[in-house]
Amino acid sequence: MTKRTKQSIWGLLLVLPSFLVLTFVVIVPIVLAINESFQNSAGEYSLEHYIYLFTDKVSVGNIVFTLKITLTSVVLVLLISYIMAIYLRFSSGLIVKWIQKMYMIPMFIPSVIASYGMINMYGNHGWLSRILLLFGSEALPKLIFDYKGLILANLWFNIPFTTMLLSSALAGIPNAVIESAKDVGASRVQLFLKFIVPLSYRTMLVAVTFIFMGIIGGFTAPYLIGPNSPQVLGVAMQQIFSVYQETQLASANAVFMFVLCSFMGYFYIRTMIKDDKSH
């Protein structure tokens, strides 16, 4: 047996435990869920659960609501995080130092505690309502148990991580590049569009992928502060499985969420491959 063959066998043995864990923890449950989603109550294969998923009024409303929440949150998180990352990269002073020390704190607060805090702060009888009441105002818009509450929660959970990713990308842009562009007369808009965005584009795609998958599969915050109807797919799937005990329909919901995330993953990988070939 040659040395190269021994190295190949040893490499396979090292990879085998991780592959087995991936197979039994991820791949096998996915296959079982897909198989179960195509079975009716009699155990026969059919498309009735997927037909119900896309024709039932409540189910369609949940899908539209989930996509609306996800896309709106992704855009807002990316916009706010990009502005904050640029400000932290190209500014200095006491405010910048304060933001750098504080903006990552939400990453270390469990989602259950953060959701409970939002209920106490923004609820109808929360601290904000009490403060406004002291000034003679009782008109507090409904934030919790509403669409706006979920947007607020998604911003809280995702802005710190996204800002951290984008800040790392922007930190890799040499100051010499920015200064050279300024010397030849580039405006701030030109600097942003022709230098900052292209040099942070890959990290931005990574951030969008993580935000999308994290929000569309979210459960804790939507369950605690989301509306009763419509619901995000994660909460709806849990109720279908535990309350109504329709496991096949719950599996169809899970497969649909997996397909949505797969499309996002495919778009990300395809973009990365194209970008690597262009270089």
3-state secondary structure 6-46: HHHHHHHHHHHHHHHHHHHHHHHHHHHHHHHHCECCCCCEC
CATH number at 153 reads 1.10.3720.10
Residues of the chain with pLDDT under 70: 1, 137-139, 275-279
pLDDT of residue 279: 59
Domain count, the chain: 1
pTM: 0.86
Whether 2 maps to a domain, the answer reads no
pLDDT of residue 276: 66
Place of tokens 């405010």: 95
User: What is the token pair recorded at 123?
Assistant: 């609820």
pLDDT of residue 94: 87
User: What is the token pair recorded at 97?
Assistant: 């130092």
* Integer Cα distance of 33 and 249 in angstroms: 10
pLDDT of residue 36: 92
Whether 206 maps to a domain, the answer reads yes
Whether 36 maps to a domain, the answer reads no
pLDDT of residue 188: 81
| Percent of the chain at pLDDT exceeding 90 | 34
Per-residue three-class SS string for the chain:
CCHHHHHHHHHHHHHHHHHHHHHHHHHHHHHHHHHHHCECCCCCECCHHHHHHHHCHHHHHHHHHHHHHHHHHHHHHHHHHHHHHHHHHHCCCHHHHHHHHHCCHHHHCCHHHHHHHHHHHHCCCCHHHHHHHHCCCCCCCCCCCCHHHHHHHHHHHHHHHHHHHHHHHHHCCCHHHHHHHHHCCCCHHHHHHHHHHHHHHHHHHHHHHHHHHHHHCCCHHHHHHCCCCCCCHHHHHHHHHHCCCCHHHHHHHHHHHHHHHHHHHHHHHHHHHHHHHHC
Whether 231 maps to a domain, the answer reads yes
pLDDT of residue 9: 84
pLDDT of residue 104: 85
Query: How much is the CA Rg of the chain, to the nearest whole Å?
Result: 24
Nearest CA to 64 among 188, 233, 208, 194?
233
Structural domain of 188: 57-278
Whether 249 maps to a domain, the answer reads yes
| pLDDT tens digits, 112-143 | 999 898 888 888 778 888 887 777 766 677 77
Whether 142 maps to a domain, the answer reads yes
pLDDT of residue 60: 94
